[in-house]
Structure 1
């Protein structure tokens, strides 16, 4: 399947899947900016919610067989964010492999782009402690929620 429209990471309209996160006072660094750890949490929340929604239920945990692990994350911090407020995190699939996914994420505050991320995630078998094929149903859910995607 080939992506039908050009993806522009700086354009909110390019992202398909969205969550909203509240900026907490505890998210600030001593200078009063939202710190890099909090930004990582916003990005993680968007991915976890996407994976759970695509699976139709929460995945992983002690009872579950499948989870996702981050193999690589790149974050560009583009604009200061401050308390109070909310951010919107958009997610779009860049590539979907057999056991891995590459997602692009944008963080927007008050309609302005504040950060970008590119994340490589691996579908992980919690019992075998190794990568596993992305289940077909979840693959379909991911594409429906955050695609289309360019596949090899």
Structure 2
């Protein structure tokens, strides 16, 4: 789902964001009863993969899904690698059977890299959405044969253009 239209069909407010529903699994919880920090990385990975990669059901692909998973599985020429990740946990994420609302956009896009920004909210439809975490992952586009960075194509840039906005500014202690 994207901000292009809301579920009710009304126009979005604010910058464009991809809204990606991500279900929790019972195993994502830790002994304290909330989502474990390592599980959060996996949830963000799931959202990122859905945002960038098309599967075998292209009808459900997001408009930003510029890479074809079947090409990757057969030794494709392009891949995305994570160069850095940062997460700011704002509240513990409790278990829910309803999917979290992971909002995603690009905070900066370079020649071969992009800062993918995430906000993890309580499930869509909550009267008062709760922001649980914010994160950034620096993704680098690479040639799979050489392992060297390669440039984003014009098609890829065009697909992501509507979802480029300011990067996340993290709170820093003592600064």
Q: Distance between the aligned counterparts of 1:112 and 1:125, measured in 2? A: 39
Residue of structure 2 equivalent to 1:93: 106
1:37-56 counterparts in 2 under 5 A? Answer: 37-52=38-53, 53=62, 54=64, 55=66
Structure 2 stretches of 5 or more lacking a match? 1-12, 54-61, 124-128, 168-175
SS of 1:34's equivalent?
A: coil
Deviations 1:59-95 (A, max 9, x none): 6334211111111100011111122332111111111
Are 1:147 and 2:158 an aligned pair?
no
Deviations 1:8-36 (A, max 9, x none): xxxx9545111111111110111111101
Checking the alignment, whether the CA contact within 8 Å between 1:103 and 1:120 is kept in structure 2 is yes
Deviations 1:104-132 (A, max 9, x none): 11000142100000121100111111111
Q: Distance between the aligned counterparts of 1:46 and 1:107, measured in 2? A: 10
Instruction: Select 2:138's aligned residue among 106, 120, 142.
Output: 120
Which structure is higher in strand share?
Answer: 1
Structure 1 stretches of 5 or more lacking a match? 1-11
CA pair 51-34 structure 1, distance change in 2 beyond 3 A: same
Q: Distance between the aligned counterparts of 1:103 and 1:127, measured in 2? A: 24
Are 1:130 and 2:153 an aligned pair?
no
Q: Distance between the aligned counterparts of 1:68 and 1:33, measured in 2? A: 30
TM-score normalised to the size of structure 1? 0.81
Are 1:80 and 2:81 an aligned pair?
no
Residue of structure 2 equivalent to 1:69: 81
CA pair 149-29 structure 1, distance change in 2 beyond 3 A: closer
Checking the alignment, whether the CA contact within 8 Å between 1:93 and 1:148 is kept in structure 2 is yes
Q: Distance between the aligned counterparts of 1:120 and 1:43, measured in 2? A: 12
Checking the alignment, whether the CA contact within 8 Å between 1:65 and 1:126 is kept in structure 2 is yes
Q: Number of aligned residue pairs: give it.
A: 138
The Cα RMSD (Å) is: 2.1
